[in-house]
Amino acid sequence: MATGSLEFYASFVRRVDGPCSILCIEDDVMVAGSRNGELSSWDISSGSKKWSLEFEGHCSSADINDGLIFLSESDNLHCIKIEDGGLLWSTELEGSSDMVKFSEEGIWATSSVYSLEIQDYYDSAVWLFDHQGGLMGKWPIEGRAWSLDSVSGVAVVGLSRPKCGYCTVTLEEGVKYHSLNISSPVTVGVSSQKGTLMGHSDGSLSHVTLDGSTSTSIGKGSVSALTMDEGWVIGMDSGELVSGDNLGSWKVELGGVVDLVKFGPSPDEDSCVWTSSWSDSCRLSLLEIHSGQEKMEIHHDYRISVGSSELGFIALGDFSGGVFLLEDGVIGRRKEQFDEDLDPDKKSELLRRKIRELRTK
């Protein structure tokens, strides 16, 4: 089974100041944000930096639409042009700006305040701004939002305690709470054409649409990562990885907290499931989509918890600020290089040469 460093397989490596917290790929552009407030953009074809911005707070969430990036940062919401980094507007929220989602109706955002005294979140809210940054509405909600989706003018929000279900928000009717057939807090959520998928702290999975919801107990531990396309794959903090729907039904033990699950390019020019798990070090596992069989393994020194994939590319960000772009075709060629019958000295020189090339770009 091929292994090797992440730097070896990456087409290029870049950095942001502080742990990488946001990654987006849009057309030929990659955007990365950090917990220290840097937001930078690179051209994927050349690897050259397009622009960089410095904010005062933590970049926590972003959504891209029609050449614009909407950024949650500290207690602010920003609208930025992807082409040149131009800041079109900014607006301040009350509390930490947690998540943001573009819709045709406007820009949805969530906020919350964390209390050290009670060690929990309170004073949470859902906001709606027009496309020019004007406030259209604000609605207090019970429990912190852990997922945010927008469907046909409706915001769908996964909630922690005390509600442990979800709510829908519209400009006309405000907040409506919906219960699930489980009573476990939502920990993570993703959107897809089939609806909103929410993971829970008891290992359950909920599929939510505007017509209703279904919930199923899936695995052991708390759901820490998930992805959905033709089917779904979820990861647990116990190290368990489980698939379902049109991907068959397979289960893999990764031996560490699953931080990231994404569909992405494969060494055999197909597609596969990328997972990042953490124990004493980071392990990237590339798995066959319909069986869970491991195709490839990559080790890394730093924890990887954010990623984005599109059109044969996958971008990964780590806790040291490293940003790695990997692409279809290149991964397979690098794997063949690694698998060649080279003596240790030649293999070490190959890796050193690759790292030198990355650093000079």
Task: For 265-294, write each residue's pLDDT tens digit.
Answer: 999 878 999 999 999 899 999 999 999 999
Per-residue model confidence (pLDDT) at position 354:
58
Question: pLDDT tier at 353 (50, 70, 90 boundaries)?
Answer: low
Q: What is the reported pTM?
A: 0.90
| Whole-angstrom distance, CA of residue 79 vs CA of residue 71 | 6
| pLDDT per residue as tens digits for the range 196-241 | 999 999 999 999 999 999 999 998 899 999 999 889 999 999 999 9
Question: pLDDT tier at 360 (50, 70, 90 boundaries)?
Answer: very low
| Whole-angstrom distance, CA of residue 353 vs CA of residue 348 | 9
Contact 193, 206 (CB under 8 A): no
Is there a cis peptide before residue 19, judged by omega within 30 degrees of 0? no
- What distances in angstroms separate CA 268 from CA 179, 237, 248, 332, 360, one per listed residue? 44, 29, 21, 6, 29
